A and B are shown apart, each in its own frame.
Chain A
Amino acid sequence: MATQKRAKKSRLPAALDRDTLERMLYFLKLTREAEWRIEQSLYRQGKIVGGVYVGRGQEAIGVGTAIQLVDGDVVIPTHRDFSAFIIRGMTLPEVFSNWMGRVAGPTRGRDGGPHLGGLRRGIIAITSQLGAWCPVACGVGLAMKRRGTKNVTVTFFGEGTTSRGDVHEAMNFAAVMKLPVIFLCDNNAYAYSTPTDRQYAVKSLATRGAIYGMPGESVDGNDVLAVHAAVAKAVARARSGGGPSFLECRTFRMAGHSAHDAAEYVSENLKRQWAKKDPIVRFEKYLLAGKILTRRRIQEMETGIRKEIEHAVAEAESSPLPEAHESEEGIYCQSPCWWEQARESCPS
């Protein structure tokens, strides 16, 4: 009942036709299912190299954002924004291969997990140093501005990352230079085990926009249409030369920090509360209530997604592991490297 009320309240933006809405549901479900496969089966089967980080519960943010971007736009998604990678054209076999350390992955087995990028698709790979890519986003935005392309850059980060100096420097710089950058914060309530009241002392992070002289807004990150609308506003502003925006998407990490973290520090009550706000369930209900999609159509979609994932996993598993000698390929410093030279010149 409550969901229906909310659904009626969120007006259908003119730009969103039935096809786009269907694609949004598809990417939401695909993301959930693919991450589930990675976290709940491949990881437990010992097929993943390293840790696993998923964005369960946060899918609406990546989908609502990336779905409206165009060629030439650039995203810097974090490990919790799986959908943004896929929407920008990264394929499932590529993603699975990367997690499994296979040569078919974009890093060809050199790096694990979500450190994925590809400039052709407008995706810049993150590093593990949270927030370090926000000044990078400014550089991308500055290049767009200088070239007059009307493109935008969207940089994602968590609420924990807002405490980092990099984010501060980047937001200030973007505002001064009026760069087409959207600072998109997935506020998922926990930075590893740190709750928001130990992370910042403000009621809403949206106030952070104003301190730099840019619009700051806070939206329900579990409402894909609300995210879409807020991002659309920020994108329009950026494309027209109005400069950056800050957008906080309130959501919840429905998993541990990573697959090895049981997140026992999160109360069961809180988990239950947020389970009721599941962004996918909500959007599905909205589509059914508005007779935009039929239950049958959704079931077909789910069957298709499961098949797609089966194929992608099989393809990734058939991709070989890299040969040892390949580890030296694609690195900046060729052998003999400075440390080897130093070692040689060092009297033992």
Chain B
Amino acid sequence: MPRKLTRSQLHEIYYHLHLNRRVDEQLTVLYRQGKIVGGVYSGLGQEAISVGTAHALEPQDVIGPMIRNVGALLVRGYRPRDLFMQYMGRKGGPTGGRDANTHFGDMARGLVAPISMLGELVPVLAGVALAARIRKEKRIALTYVGDGATSTGPFHEGLNLAAVLKLPLLIIVENNGWAYSTPVERQTANPDYAGRAKGYGLPGVCVDGNDVLAVYHATQGAADRARRGGGPTLIECKTMRMKGHAEHDDARYVSKEIVEKWRRKDPILRFDKYLRAKKLITAAEEAEVQARIEKEIREDTAFAESSPLPVPEEAGRAVWA
């Protein structure tokens, strides 16, 4: 039975959705100003998935976010300035300027850093779930893969292992229609990703990835089940990548009609509308959150821009050999 969200929990989700969007927009601005080191990978249009899943977990749970899951990082306590500094290669960023974009994690926050090899986090998070089981901790693990990453071997190996060992693992398939320029119909001959779970012997559910409450409740249900020892669940969130693969990609291979169709399903506008219609938020409350976010973005941008770059001598620090 889904637990009802309190008004303040709903406001938290509202805040994180909007903060996620604004951080994303601000990163684009910084990128165009030439202030970013490397590429910028946007999660525009997919915010409900990162925010909804991260909110549904308990603080002790571990998340393995991917490049488009900035929302999960924000829910877990990272500030916009952390992301700005990271993307700008500053010393104060989570990797101290050693790596770019979202290749960072923090075990204190229950975040495993992603690497660029897609799908690799599935076996890693299966390992986290196995460790929790062995240590008898009520901890579950969650990670995300795109529709493209489902075609990788590690996704399969991790999923099968989790199913056999009944690990407390949640696999969120963010089906955003495109793996770089590869559409789903060239990615798989069976686009029913939730249905794939049957081939592994675990439940698979499909939810509207642009409906943050649907994502939240599906995640929470699967998390409860995993915590009770019921094993892993695959959740397919249907969504759309509203930008190119990265800022350098104008995604001209995606038809305008498709983008327009999905724009009308914008997860943030939908949630706003829902809260207003159900009178769960007042105009004054909205204005207050928006002002808070704008202040944060402004201050954190200034903070990041004035923060120092790393000195060359530091490049060799914190490496294994």
| Segment 190-207 of A: residues with Cβ below 8 Å from B | 198-203, 207
Q: How far is the CA of A172 from the CA of B182 in the complex (A)?
A: 14
Task: Decide: A213 near B199, CB < 8 A? Known: A163-B160, A164-B153, A169-B151.
Answer: no
Task: Decide: A211 near B164, CB < 8 A? Known: A200-B201, A201-B201.
Answer: no
Contact of B156 among A168, A198, A203 (CB under 8 A): A168
Q: How far is the CB of A345 from chain B (nearest CB, A)?
A: 22
Q: How far is the CB of A59 from chain B (nearest CB, A)?
A: 29
| Segment 210-245 of A: residues with Cβ below 8 Å from B | 210-214, 243
Q: How far is the CB of A62 from chain B (nearest CB, A)?
A: 26
Q: Does A189 contact B (CB under 8 A)?
A: no
Q: Quick check: A212 and B190 within 8 Å, CB to CB? A: yes
Q: Does B305 contact A (CB under 8 A)?
A: no
Q: How far is the CB of B127 from chain A (nearest CB, A)?
A: 16
Closest residue on chain B to residue A196 by CB atoms: B164
Closest residue on chain A to residue B161 by CB atoms: A163
Closest residue on chain B to residue A216 by CB atoms: B199
Q: Quick check: B190 and A165 within 8 Å, CB to CB? A: no
| Segment 81-108 of A: residues with Cβ below 8 Å from B | none
| Segment 64-93 of B: residues with Cβ below 8 Å from A | none
Question: Interface readout for A316-330 with B: 1 if CB under 8 Å, 0 if not?
Answer: 000000000000000
Q: How far is the CA of A201 from the CA of B234 in the complex (A)?
A: 14
Question: Interface readout for A171-185 with B: 1 if CB under 8 Å, 0 if not?
Answer: 011011010000000
Task: Decide: A176 near B189, CB < 8 A? Known: A163-B160, A198-B164.
Answer: yes
Q: How far is the CB of B58 from chain A (nearest CB, A)?
A: 25
Q: How far is the CA of A165 from the CA of B117 in the complex (A)?
A: 14
Q: Does B133 contact A (CB under 8 A)?
A: no
Q: Quick check: B198 and A201 within 8 Å, CB to CB? A: no
Q: How far is the CA of A173 from the CA of B148 in the complex (A)?
A: 12
Q: Quick check: B190 and A175 within 8 Å, CB to CB? A: yes
Closest residue on chain B to residue A176 by CB atoms: B189
Q: Quick check: B160 and A200 within 8 Å, CB to CB? A: yes
Q: How far is the CB of A203 from chain B (nearest CB, A)?
A: 8
Q: Quick check: B187 and A176 within 8 Å, CB to CB? A: yes
Closest residue on chain B to residue A198 by CB atoms: B164
Closest residue on chain A to residue B119 by CB atoms: A165
Q: Quick check: A202 and B200 within 8 Å, CB to CB? A: yes
Q: Quick check: B152 and A165 within 8 Å, CB to CB? A: yes
Q: From DSSP, what is the main secondary structure of chain A's interface residues?
A: helix
Interface size class of B (residues with CB under 8 A): 20 to 34
Closest residue on chain A to residue B232 by CB atoms: A201
Q: How far is the CA of A211 from the CA of B151 in the complex (A)?
A: 11
Q: Quick check: B189 and A207 within 8 Å, CB to CB? A: no
Closest residue on chain B to residue A209 by CB atoms: B199
List residues of chain B with CB within 8 A of the CB of A210: 190, 195, 198-199
Q: How far is the CA of A207 from the CA of B160 in the complex (A)?
A: 13
Q: Quick check: B198 and A212 within 8 Å, CB to CB? A: no
Q: Does A302 contact B (CB under 8 A)?
A: no
Closest residue on chain B to residue A201 by CB atoms: B201
Q: How far is the CA of A201 from the CA of B201 in the complex (A)?
A: 5
Q: How far is the CA of A108 from the CA of B264 in the complex (A)?
A: 67
Q: How far is the CA of A211 from the CA of B187 in the complex (A)?
A: 13
Q: Does A250 contact B (CB under 8 A)?
A: no
Q: Does B157 contact A (CB under 8 A)?
A: yes
Q: Quick check: B155 and A168 within 8 Å, CB to CB? A: yes
| Segment 140-174 of B: residues with Cβ below 8 Å from A | 151-157, 160-161, 163-164, 166
Please name 16 further chain A to chain B contacts, defined as beta carbons within 8 Å, in addition to the given A166-B153, A169-B151, sorted by A numbering: A164-B153, A165-B152, A168-B153, A168-B155, A172-B151, A176-B186, A176-B187, A201-B166, A201-B202, A208-B199, A210-B198, A210-B199, A211-B190, A211-B198, A211-B199, A213-B190
Q: List 24 A-B contacts (CB under 8 A).
A: A163-B156, A163-B157, A163-B160, A164-B153, A164-B157, A166-B153, A167-B156, A168-B157, A169-B156, A175-B189, A175-B190, A178-B189, A199-B164, A200-B160, A200-B201, A201-B200, A201-B202, A202-B200, A202-B201, A208-B199, A210-B190, A210-B198, A211-B199, A212-B189
* Pairs of residues from A and B, 4 with the lowest C-beta to C-beta distance, nearest first: A165-B153, A213-B189, A201-B201, A213-B190
